Amino acid sequence: MSDLTALFDPDAIIKLEGIDELDRMRAVPNPFWNRARLEVTWGLPVMSGLVESPRIAVQPMRKATREELLLYHDPAYIETLELFGNTGTAFSARFGLDTDECPIFPGVDQYASYIVGATIDAMMSVADGKFEDAVSFFGGQHHATESQASGFCYYNDCVVAIKKYQEKYPGKKVLYLDTDAHHGDGTQSAFYDDPNVLTISIHELSMGFYPGTGRPEEIGIGDGKGYSVNIPLPPLTDDVEWWRAFEDLVVPIWLAYEPDFVFWEVGADAYMNDPLTDLMLTYDTYQRLSKTVRQLVHLGTRKLVMVGGGGYNSVAAAKIWTILLADIADIALPPTIPADWIRLCHKHGFQVKRGGWTSRPYRLPYDQYPKINRAVNESIRKVKELIFPTFGLDDLI
C-alpha cells in the first residue's frame, strides 16, 4: 500500500467563472461560494511548499458522473440543478434552490459536481490502496439531501462517496466523523438506519442556530439505532470543554466500533471569530485533533479521507486545513506564514494578525464557565446513556 497523501487540486473549479457572476449579482458576497475563499484557502498550502513535497500526490478534480450522483440524489433534482447551471429557469422552491445560502449562478452544477467527483476519487483511491489517505479542501457538503439544497450545499459528496465505497466493499464499516460547527444533518439522514455507517457529529446547538438538529436523542432507527451520535455544545464552548466532550465520547465509541474506513468532515468554522458560529476553538485544538485522529486511524486499518467542510473566516480556514494537511501527510510546516500569502489575503481585504501557525490562548470568562460546563456535562451524560450500551460501554456510563 502507498504511504502517500492524495491532495485534490481545485484548479478546475477556480477556473470556472460562475461565482464571479454571483458576486456581481448580489450585494453581499456569499460566505461559501466566493473567489476569495477559494484562492486564499488553496493558496496557503501551495505557497507554503506543501504541494511540492514527495509525501503528497496532487490529483486533479473531476466532475461526478450522472450514475454516481444517482447513488443518492433524486434524478429530478439533478436535472433541475443542471438546468439552472446552464442559465435555464424552472420551479425550484421545492429543491431548496436560489436562496441566500444556495444561490443559482452560471455553472453551479459544475461546481457541485467537481466536489463530488473529487471526494469519490479520494475515498476510492484510499480504499483501493493507491494512497494511504486523501484530502479535499472543498468537500464536505453535508447538509444536502436527496432532493434538497441547503446550507451552501448542493450535492452531498460525503454520502455519494460513502455509498460508492459500500457498493464496492459491502459490509465494511465506515466512521463518518463530523467536527463542523454545524450539525451534519444531511449525511446523518442518509444513513439513519444503517449500522455500517456510524455518524458522529460534534457541533454547536442553540436557539435559531442552523440547521436546528443534532440532539442526543437522534440516535438512528431500525438496524441503525445507536449508530447516529450527536454531541451538541453551547455557544462559547472553548478548547477545554470541547476537548472534554471529544475524549469522553468520540474516542471510546470509535475504539469500540473498529471502523474499516474513516471519513472526516473537519469544518473550520468552530474556530473562534468565525462570522457564522459561536464556538471558541483555537488553532491549537485543531492541531491536537489532527494528531488524535491520525493516531486512532493508525490503530485501525489506516484508511482516512479528510474534507474541509465549513469555515467562513477564510484566513482561519486556510490555516486550519493547511495545518491538518501537513500533520496527516507528516510534513513540517515552514516556520512562518509565507509573505506572498499574506499579500494575497490583503488583496482580498482579509487581515492577517499573526505571522505564525498558532493562536493566542483563550480562557472562557469566569462568569460563563458554570453554564457552559453544565451544558457540556448534560450532553455527555445523555450520549453515554443513549449510545454507550450499543457499543458495550456500559461500565463507562
Q: Tell me, what CATH number does 207's domain have?
A: 3.40.800.20
The predicted pLDDT at position 86 comes to: 66
Distance, CA of 330 to CA of 49 (rounded, Å): 14
User: Strands, DSSP E only, in 148-218?
Assistant: 174-178, 197-204
**Residue 203 is among the residues annotated as catalytic for this protein:** no
Distance, CA of 112 to CA of 152 (rounded, Å): 10
Residue 386's φ and ψ, nearest 5 degrees, are -85, -30
Residue 6's φ and ψ, nearest 5 degrees, are -80, 135
Taking the mean position of all CA atoms in its chain, how far away is CA 101?
A: 17
Distance, CA of 223 to CA of 242 (rounded, Å): 30
The predicted pLDDT at position 90 comes to: 56
Cell 445560502 sits on residue:
101
The predicted pLDDT at position 204 comes to: 98
User: Strands, DSSP E only, in 1-160?
Assistant: 5-9, 56-60, 133-136
The predicted pLDDT at position 263 comes to: 98
Distance, CA of 372 to CA of 331 (rounded, Å): 36
The predicted pLDDT at position 137 comes to: 98
Q: Per-residue pLDDT tens, the chain, 397 aa: give them.
A: 689 999 999 999 999 999 999 999 888 889 999 999 999 999 999 999 999 999 999 999 999 999 999 999 999 999 999 887 665 555 567 798 889 999 989 999 999 999 999 999 999 999 999 999 999 999 999 999 999 999 999 999 999 999 999 999 999 999 999 999 999 999 999 999 999 999 999 999 999 999 999 999 999 999 999 999 999 999 999 999 999 999 999 999 999 999 999 999 999 999 999 999 999 999 999 999 999 999 999 999 999 999 999 999 999 999 999 999 999 999 999 999 999 999 999 999 999 987 889 888 888 888 899 999 999 999 999 999 999 999 999 999 8
- Here the cell at position 195 is 449500522
Distance, CA of 361 to CA of 252 (rounded, Å): 28
Domain of 216, in residue numbers: 5-396
* Measured CA angle at 274 (ends 337, 180), to 5 deg: 100
Annotated active-site residue in 73, 142, 143, 183: 143
From its phi and psi, is residue 137 left (phi > 0), alpha (psi between -120 and 50) or beta?
alpha
The predicted pLDDT at position 174 comes to: 98
Taking the mean position of all CA atoms in its chain, how far away is CA 224?
A: 22
Distance, CA of 314 to CA of 274 (rounded, Å): 9
- Here the cell at position 33 is 461560494
Distance, CA of 348 to CA of 345 (rounded, Å): 5
- Here the cell at position 24 is 456581481
Specify which residues 228 forms β-bridges with. Answer: 199
Q: Which of 9, 14, 120, 117 is nearest to 56 (CA)?
A: 9
Cβ-Cβ contacts under 8 Å for 170 (sequence gap 6 or more): none
Domain count, the chain: 1
